[in-house]
Amino acid sequence: MRYAGLDVPALLAARARERGAHAFLVWAPFEGAGYTWSYAQFAQEVALVAGGLAARGVKPGDRVIVHMENCPELLLAWFACTHLGAICVNTNAASAGPELEYFAQMTGAVGAITQPQFESLFAAHGSGLGWLVSTGPQFDSMKSASRGTGPAARAPDPAAPATILFTSGTTSRPKGVLWTHANALWGGQMGALQLGLRPTDVYQVFLPLCHVVGLSWSVLAAFWAGATVVLQPRFSASRLWPVALEHGSTVASHVQFTTSVLAQQPVPPGHRFRLWGTSAWIPEQEAHFRARMIGWWGMTEVVTQGIVGDLYAPQRPRSIGRPSTGIEVRIVDDAGEQVAPGGTGNLLVKGVRGVSLFAEYFGNAQATAEAFDADGCFRTGDRVTLHEDGCIQFADRLKDMIKVGGEGVSGAEIERTVMAVPGVKETAVVAKTDAVYGEVAIAFVVLKEGAPPDVAEKVLAHCRASLAKFKVPREVIVTDSIRGGTLGKISKAELRGRLAR
């Protein structure tokens, strides 16, 4: 098997031996002092956290929720879980209480590590958890429980489960995407190779670590290369350049939202960025930022970039690149036939489950089986255009997905939430183009007869209480009907057309 004799803790131990004094993690908070961990220091801290988890009874295979905004403790906890053979359930810090409760129940998590600002959320929605530790004194106390040493190293097992990330799709509930240690290593290795990372690189990370781009494409890629990660709590247009100049950042991952915002600002002279990866290659932005940019595409289930621009080959404007190493890309029409250059079709990817593709949807064998076709190709739910020069351009989504500032939002999940509001008869949620966020969610609502006039306000209030902020509809439009055509079906294309008028 690929990565035989190697897993995440084994690679961290090797980095600590070979590059012990080199900076691995630099914390760049918005307020207060930052801190730097060398590879050796980070490995020591991970062992202490793992020891503290073991003292709380965490065993191999147990699920542990890690619910935090970007911070050093998130990465320490993630690596500590891999050290123990436990599974880190890496949840989005923007999640609302009911979402958090679902994550805990669905995974059967034994406990959680969080930040003080989320303690009240767990108090109201974490009753099934055995324990809760917050960063600060509690986290430090948990480390000291290991009495100066962590648990004994396990025999490396690349096939063992490592982490669960959540993704939104066509269903009303997010699915838990399970990665093995081999998945994590693959993400790091391929990311480092495709971005040409060097041990001297400084990767500035501000995208959420609960997502594939922040964790795999950025942190794990730098980890594989033996490079340095400069971590920020979140994206800040005003703080990106000062941090980059202070630490000599050379590489960064972006989404459409971040590059669009930064494109409106001047670029300081003397920055050292040599490469930015982003949603699509836009030559005007590359000229503005004075750094090489490449387009890329991927999703949580594909672990690393499945389609990516080449550092040394010509790129097509607005393209996401060409098929990456290690997976097979197929672009087919609705009959399953390969599209010719110039055509648009459904994007399928084929790889090795548990290595170049995710292992499974946790606890959902049916969804896992339905995600693959008869040839073992993963159905991405995206449509792309294959150009004559071999470059690929994103076209549309088959899945009921809305991209809000780089976050994937399931229209069906919002619809399920809206339907819980008394007075709502039917609803349909669609995407509306937004200059800043790329897309925002708009909810069309049909009311029951005799419904009170303030249902729209109640819908928004219920969504704010039940969903992460980025999932809340920008607007609720009350309408007489959301159905049309001879069959009376809901046509989201027609609803999007209404918004465009």
**DSSP assignment of 161-210, as one string?**
EEEEEEE--SSSS-EEEEEEHHHHHHHHHHHHHHHT--TT-EEEE-S-TT
Q: How far apart are alpha carbons 425 and 413 in whole angstroms? A: 16
List per-residue pLDDT tens for the chain, 501 residues long.
789 999 999 999 999 999 999 999 999 999 999 999 999 999 999 999 999 999 999 999 999 999 999 999 999 999 999 999 999 999 999 999 999 999 999 999 999 999 999 999 999 999 889 999 999 999 998 887 766 556 777 899 999 999 999 986 555 688 999 999 999 999 999 999 999 999 999 999 999 999 999 999 999 999 999 999 999 999 999 999 999 999 999 999 999 889 989 999 999 999 999 999 999 999 999 999 999 999 999 999 999 999 999 999 999 999 999 999 889 999 999 899 999 999 999 999 999 999 999 999 999 999 999 999 999 999 999 999 999 999 999 987 776 778 888 788 888 889 888 988 998 988 989 889 888 888 999 999 988 888 888 888 999 999 999 898 999 999 999 988 887 654 456 777 778 878 877
Where exactly are the structural domains of the chain?
A: 8-382, 401-500
According to DSSP, residue 485 is labeled T
Residue 36: Cβ within 10 Å count: 16
What is the structure's pLDDT at 237? 95
Residue type (1 letter), 99: E
Facing residues of 409 across strands? 402
Q: For residue 115, count CB atoms less than 10 angstroms from its CB and return exposed for 0-12, middle for 13-18, buried for 19 or more.
A: middle
According to DSSP, residue 103 is labeled H
Q: Which CATH architecture has domain 8-382?
A: 3-Layer(aba) Sandwich (3.40)
Tell me the pTM.
0.88
Residue 44: Cβ within 10 Å count: 16
Q: How far apart are alpha carbons 210 and 77 in whole angstroms? A: 13
Q: How far apart are alpha carbons 318 and 295 in whole angstroms? A: 8
CATH of domain 401-500: 3.30.300.30
Q: How far apart are alpha carbons 486 and 447 in whole angstroms? A: 22
- For residues 217 and 304, the answer to whether their CB atoms sit within 8 Å is yes
8-382 and 401-500 share one fold: no
Q: What ranges in 196-332 are assigned the alpha helix state H?
A: 212, 221-225, 237-247, 256-262, 283-289
Q: Which two tokens stand for residue 316?
A: 């097509």
